[in-house]
Structure 1
Amino acid sequence: MGASRKLIGFVIGLAAVFAVSFGVGSAVMPHGGEHTDHAGRHDADTVGYTLQLGETELRAGTAVPLRFRIADDSGVPVTDYVESHEKLLHLIVVRADLADYQHVHPVLDASGTWEVPLDLTQPGDYRVFADFVPADGQPVTLGADMTVAGKYQPQPLPAPADTATVDGYTVTLAGAARAGQPSELTLSVSRAGRPVTDLQPYLGAYGHLVAVRAADLAYLHVHPMNEAADPGTAAGPQIAFHTEFPSAGAYRLFLDFKHRDAVHTAEFTVEGAS
């Protein structure tokens, strides 16, 4: 873990301006549901922090800046974080129909404002998830909604399948998504019919998996059973995950993996069985 940053006091007047101008989100589930943290556990809606978006209506474009803050229960921007998987904060952005997914890492300034460019070429409603560890707390995931200007043309959710192709790679999914109980999922990566055995570490692991429930965009963020630095961890082709799906229904899975110095994302639809 990297050294945590020293908390910097923020001018009260400027904080008040941001409290008014920033769109605010807290619960990970978008419509008053329960909070779901990155490991799939359920906590109370109030977790002591809020996600404040600089704008909730953004223009369409290829590199649109998104600015936001994490505020504590007193409304003060948080500037003191602990690294988790080599980053101080992971930002996940998904369109409401789950047809667009981005996993990015914003830059933090001294005032507590994060900023990152997003590819927002597809108009529509989006959900933003901030996944982080405050210096004096446990892992937290916060969510907020935003809209990208333009004509929204929602796409149907792809049918469930156990294979996905991306950038010349084939990823195969094995294991059952079971609601309300631990599930083990294994994803195997191949290229041109051959297993990939030289995956590169990405954020300290050989793969990162995000699951989003289609019905209401409830979010789970899970990590492999073994970190890349663990003795005996193979660099592919298989990446195994432990997770728990909170309920039955359709979920979209997004697997990020790195090979040949590029990050690729394989996408799956699965049905959580009760």
Structure 2
Amino acid sequence: MKTTHGHHSGNHGTRPGGLSVSEDGYTLEFDATILPAGAQTVTFRVSGPDGRPVTAFTPEHEKELHLIVVRRDTTGFQHVHPVMDHLGTWRVEVTLEPGDWRFFADIRPAGHDDAMTLGIDVSVAGPYDPQPIPGDTRTSRVGEYTVTLDGDLAPGAAGDLTLGVSRNGRPVTDLQPYLGAYGHLVALRVGDLGYLHVHPDGEPGDGVTEPGPGITFMAAAPSGGTYRLYLDFQHDGVVRTADFTVRAFTARPDAAPGHASHAAHH
């Protein structure tokens, strides 16, 4: 299996993205930031330095905008792709439970040198039942699939994270391309939801990148602490999400991380 290294979208070096609603004159503006619970369509815009909605974006991984939605207790993760009208208004359906949420827009405005990630808080009305952050979880079960995480996060030092996918105990060797890659990985820092978005360098069909069972990324944590990781992968025509909890240490701890299973949140 070829090792493929990824890049960070929405941050520079080890600086996390998504902590600000505005960056370099671009601002994320939602029509409503207090929403009801349940399935619904949300609408928003990205305004530019001139104050007008931006209508031209450079596609990143086959989409002009990636919207990541997660409750602040790190449950309810959704990676969706809104559709923009000619006036610059984006629309997408999401399903929300009561609580405090963070919405991240991963974009690269046309003519801008770098991708950026803007973040905004959204409150969803109703009784809030926050869930505890899972302990160190290196195995995630999603239906018939088991995904294992190998590798460590270290503050300021890039290292490999390899996600191995199996189905009913057998390695999956025919992962399907999803948005131009065999896997998409998002990491969120527990406490402030500082955002990292990493992808493999290799591309399906490049003659060297194999379609599983391993998907390898290179990632550097912006600081020590606990991180929640979410892997999107596609098999048999369905995109699934596996989630993990890892702790970033300045030096590798003496004890090996524990291995536990944890079902992915949707």
| Length-normalised TM-score, structure 2 | 0.86
Gaps of at least 5 residues in structure 1 are 1-35
Q: Does 1:221 align with 2:197?
A: yes
2:76 corresponds to 1:134: no
Matched with 2:93 is 117
Distance 1:273 1:86 in 2: 34
1:118-197 paired onto structure 2 within 5 Å: 118-120=94-96, 122-137=97-112, 138-197=114-173
Change (3 A) 1:87 1:39: farther
Among 210, 213, 225, the residue aligned to 1:237 = 213
Q: Which amino acid aligns with 1:42?
A: R
Compute the RMSD of aligned alpha carbons: 1.5
Describe the superposition over 1:206-248 as per-residue Cα deviations: whole angstroms up to 9, x where unpaired: 0000000111110000001312232211000000001110000
Aligned counterpart, 1:61: 38
1:202 to 1:173, Cα distance in 2 relative to 1, 3 A: same
- TM superposition shift of 1:99: 1.3
Q: Which amino acid aligns with 1:52?
A: E
Structure with larger RCO (C-alpha < 8 A, sep 6+): 2
The residue aligned with 2:246 is 270
Q: How far apart, in 2, do the equivalents of 1:229 and 1:54 lie? A: 41
Moved beyond 3 Å, runs of 4+: 38-41, 43-46
CA-to-partner distance for each residue in 1:169-201, whole Å, 9 max, x for gaps? 000100111111112100000001100000000
Residue type of the partner of 1:127? R
Counterparts of 1:93-112 in structure 2 under 5 Å?
93-112=69-88
Matched, 1:37 2:7: no
2:118 & 2:82 partners in 1: Cα distance?
15
- The residue matched to 2:74 in structure 1 has which SS? coil
Q: 2:27 is matched with which residue? A: 50
Paired residue for 2:65, among 52, 73, 89?
89
State the SS of the aligned residue for 2:241.
strand
Residues 1:212 and 2:185 are matched in the alignment: no
Query: 1:39 deviation in Å?
Result: 6.4
Give the secondary structure class of the aligned counterpart of 1:94: strand
The runs of 5 or more residues in structure 2 that have no matched partner are: 1-8, 251-266
Q: After superposition, what is the alpha-carbon deviation per residue over 1:67-113, rounded to whole angstroms, capped at 9, x for unaligned?
A: 00001122110000111111110000010000110000000001100
Partner Cα distance (2:30, 2:45) in 1: 7
| Cα pair distance change 1:206/1:160, threshold 3 Å | same
- Taking the aligned partners of 1:38 and 1:100, their CA distance within structure 2 comes to 23
Once the 2 structures are TM-superposed, how far is the Cα of residue 42 of structure 1 from its aligned partner? 2.8
Aligned to 1:259: 235
CA distance in 2, matches of 1:185, 1:89: 25
The answer on whether the counterparts of 2:14 and 2:221 sit within 8 Å (CA) in structure 1 is: no
